[in-house]
Amino acid sequence: MIDAVVVMGVAGCGKSTLGAALARAEGVPLVEGDEFHSERSRGKMSRGIALDDADREGWLDTLGAQLRAHPAGVVLTCSALKRAYRDRLRAAQPGLRFVFMDIDREAAQARVAQRAGSHFFSPTLVESQFATLESPVDEPGVLRVDALAPLRSLQTEVSAWLRGGARR
């Protein structure tokens, strides 16, 4: 059994795909962070308007409550772009770890464009995601993975890291 982990990164990096595979492999619930955005925030993003810190305030509180609601382990997908956002989630769940799905702008843009008809996130916002991103690589409890690696390899790598208790 694993503890709580956040699969994070910019739009299009594959958070939902890896999160689902990881939750299945570890036998814990998956909480999709996107499902907890307010209608107002979803509307802004669908119109190509980037969210600001105030827009994310209640969302982060809700995600923190979701983490606390799953004390036996959970996989949460959440962009967690800024250190302050990650620290708020850490405050809600001590020992929380993060898997940072690292991807380049071009690949993220292509992936978001592919799903444009089925997801509320506007492809025009990818650049703002990179502008907002504060890399978590030097923070404790973070594993950086190559978002373009095969899903099975990613899931195996993350599961081994979580089970090994490593706190990079």
Read off the pLDDT of residues 152-161 as tens digits, 9 standing for 90 and up: 999 999 999 9
Specify the range with the lowest mean pLDDT, choosing from 45-49, 81-85, 100-104: 45-49
CATH code of the domain containing 33: 3.40.50.300
User: What is the per-residue pLDDT across 35-56, written as a single tens digit (0 to 9) for each?
Assistant: 877 678 777 767 777 777 788 8
Q: What is the mean pLDDT of residues 111-140?
A: 77
Residue 30 falls inside a structural domain: yes
Position 116 confidence tier, pLDDT thresholds 50, 70, 90: low
Q: Which of 35-49, 65-79, 127-141 is least confident? A: 35-49
Please tell me the pTM assigned to this model: 0.88
Residue 45 lies in a domain: yes
Any domain includes 168: no
Q: Tell whether the model's pLDDT for residue 117 goes beyond 60.
A: no
> Which residue range is the domain that position 9 belongs to?
4-163
Q: Identify whether 94 is part of a domain.
A: yes
The count of structural domains within the chain is 1
| pLDDT score, position 168 | 42
Quick check: is 40 in a domain? yes
- Asked if residue 19 lies in contact with residue 89, where contact means CB atoms within 8 angstroms, the answer is no
For residue 144, give the H/E element and its range. Answer: strand 142-146
The two three-digit tokens of residue 111, written as one number: 């992936």
What is the structure's pLDDT at 105?
A: 87
pLDDT of residue 140: 93
| Among 56, 67, 42, residue whose Cα is nearest residue 125 | 42
- Asked, for residue 56, whether it belongs to a domain, the answer is yes
87 occurs within a structural domain = yes
Long-range contacts of range 118-124, CB-CB < 8 Å, 24 or more positions apart? 120/34, 120/42, 120/45, 120/46, 121/11, 121/34, 121/45, 121/46, 122/45, 122/46, 122/47, 122/48, 124/48
The mean predicted confidence, pLDDT, of the chain is: 87
Mean pLDDT of 92-106: 94
